[in-house]
Structure 1
Amino acid sequence: MESVVVRPPVSVSSGRASRWVLFRAVLLIVLLILCAACRREAPAPQPAPAATPPAPAAVSATELKDVVETTSNYVIGISYPPAAAKYPGLAAELRRYADDARAELVQAASERRPDAPAPYDLSLSFSMVMDSPALVAVAADGSSYTGGAHGAPLLERFVWLPQENRRLLASDLVPGKQGWNAISGYVREQLHTALSQRIDADDLDAAERAEVIKSAGQMIDEGTEADAAHFAQFEPVVGVGGKLSALRFVFAPYQVGPYSDGTQTVDVPASVLLPFLAPEYRGLFAGG
């Protein structure tokens, strides 16, 4: 008789549980391997680069370029001295003056009547008067014609302190009223003398001579009142050794005489100026 072996019944639920546990274990191992690989391949975080500072703005000297313009309404000619370009601040002042004069003429020309007899014109020339380490001077002379019998005079003097990079004004040189009283008196005497000499040369009769002396003399006195504003246009006069021997005050037409007298100048010697000059500028003058 054969023996019968009795095996315990197999539990289906416990087999599934074992397979699930094995699957989770395998899955966990795979995930761990993948994570380790990612950590090895991913580059290490780099610090953010420092912000690059902006490049400094380029500083360029004001360009001084001669101007020639010709249209049916206007003609413009402006010339600059090349030496002035060495001083950017001064060059900017010259350019600003010329640009303002040009803008005024162009504006006037835009309103010019078509039947006007001639185009408007602007003629302006800058010239070097002095160029030294201590002092630079530029003269601007010209005229602007926008109709009428003659053009309006353009006259300006630029005296520049290169070491301080600024313009030297008449009010800087002579800060007190007493100084302008002395300068005014000296200039008036010179202008009245020149007026008398011109009238004598014209050989006028007594009545006409008296009338001219009265009207022109009044213009002289009004245009040379003891105030820096009336002596704003001046240029240095260089003497022996490079020191200033005088200041030449420049007066545009109509300031101290009729248009026909043109631009007038008077040289005031250093000996007259020295007692009234600001201390910081006396060393520029002979005897200072």
Structure 2
Amino acid sequence: MFARPRLLAVSLIALATLAACNRDRPEKAAEATPAPGEAAVVTPAEAAAPMAFESKTPYAEVRLTLPIALRSQPDLHARLYAANVRDLRAFAEGAQADRTEAGGDGGLPPYDKTIEFTPGAETAKLFSLMRTVSEFTGGAHPNARFGAVLWDKALNREIAAADLFIKPADMTALDQALCAAINAEKRRRDPAAQTVSLSGGSDWKCPTALETPFVLAASTEPGKAGGLTFLVAPYIVGPYAEGSYEVSVPLAAFRALIAPAYAGEFGGGIKV
């Protein structure tokens, strides 16, 4: 009369073993891969980080726009979304405090701040993004500034601009190449434009490479970066009326400066 419970226990063990085997079958594992046309699995990082953010109050209007390319780097996506939304919310709160404590806004429109990320070139190991900020808090025009992100996909972390180069490095060659590119663009826009130099000597001077945001420049060789594209905000090398500058420096100008860990990410010329 004790055989039946024992047989039941054996049967349950067999069923558990069979279920475990079935879970390991290739056809079951394949079900986790979306079929063509089906939605891809969204990671927690992606779910917490939309591609845009917008908020409007009587005191401030703020917007964040992220590129679709960022979805390939979910950790960076989540990090950038969170940090920039905090930035925009702080701006909006500051706008309200600023305008209410001043005793009114005199009929001025709301303050405005826009942050937009756009992709630079991408290699097997490196992912780059340009950050453009436009901010209006009254006055004749908005203020604009740039930033950049370099992401090491293998290490899954952001690297500083200086990490791209050997240490110690004499950056003179790259600084001079950047300055030459800025002056060439100035002359293209206006043949009579005032040139700038690294030493100054006029109202404006060339910035150095490491103090200027840059992204990777697309290459004529697939999967490589053909140079660096530098982002120079208004007022850096000329009056506001000149606007901003986006100039590229080819690999030949700084090839010897690249750190060994990233030398293989560069090749070819700048793709136009």
Both structures adopt the same fold (TM-score exceeding 0.5): yes
1:253 aligns with 234
Which of 85, 88, 102 is the aligned partner of 2:71? 85
2:91 aligns with 104
2:174 aligns with 183
1:224 aligns with 207
Once the two structures are TM-superposed, the CA of residue 237 in structure 1 deviates from its matched residue by 2.4
- Structure number with greater CO (CA < 8 Å, separation at least 6) is 2
Distance 1:154 1:160 in 2: 20
Distance 1:214 1:170 in 2: 23
Structure 1 residues 265 and 82: CA distance shift in structure 2, 3 A? closer
Work out whether 1:237 is the aligned partner of 2:218.
yes
1:137 aligns with 128
Once the two structures are TM-superposed, the CA of residue 133 in structure 1 deviates from its matched residue by 4.0
RMSD after superposition: 2.8
Deviations 1:43-62 (A, max 9, x none): xxxxxxxxxxxxxxxx9314
Amino acid at match of 1:85: R
Once the two structures are TM-superposed, the CA of residue 232 in structure 1 deviates from its matched residue by 3.5
SS at match of 1:193: helix
> How many residues get paired?
217
Give the TM-score normalised by the residue count of structure 2: 0.69
Deviations 1:62-82 (A, max 9, x none): 413422222211222222223
Which of 64, 73, 87 is the aligned partner of 2:59? 73
Native 8 Å contact 2:62 2:112 kept in 1:
yes
1:264 aligns with 245
Distance 2:245 2:134 in 1: 16
Once the two structures are TM-superposed, the CA of residue 176 in structure 1 deviates from its matched residue by 4.5
Once the two structures are TM-superposed, the CA of residue 285 in structure 1 deviates from its matched residue by 0.7
SS at match of 1:123: strand
Give the TM-score normalised by the residue count of structure 1: 0.65
SS at match of 2:125: coil
Unaligned runs of 5+ in 1: 1-58, 202-208
Task: Kindly name which structure, 1 or 2, has the bigger radius of gyration based on alpha carbons.
Answer: 1
Once the two structures are TM-superposed, the CA of residue 88 in structure 1 deviates from its matched residue by 3.1
Distance 1:100 1:237 in 2: 30
Work out whether 1:94 is the aligned partner of 2:80.
yes
SS at match of 1:76: strand
Native 8 Å contact 1:188 1:220 kept in 2:
no
- Greater helix share, structure number: 1
Which of 48, 60, 63 is the aligned partner of 2:44? 60
Amino acid at match of 1:276: L
Once the two structures are TM-superposed, the CA of residue 266 in structure 1 deviates from its matched residue by 2.1
Unaligned runs of 5+ in 2: 1-42
Amino acid at match of 1:84: L
State the identity as a percent. 26
Deviations 1:99-140 (A, max 9, x none): 314412431233123314211112222223345542222222
Structure 1 residues 213 and 267: CA distance shift in structure 2, 3 A? closer
1:279 aligns with 260
- Greater mean alpha carbon deviation, residues 110-119 or residues 247-256: 110-119
Native 8 Å contact 1:224 1:231 kept in 2:
yes
Structure 1 residues 97 and 158: CA distance shift in structure 2, 3 A? same
Native 8 Å contact 1:121 1:146 kept in 2:
yes
- Greater mean alpha carbon deviation, residues 143-152 or residues 154-163: 154-163
1:167 aligns with 158
Distance 2:85 2:170 in 1: 32
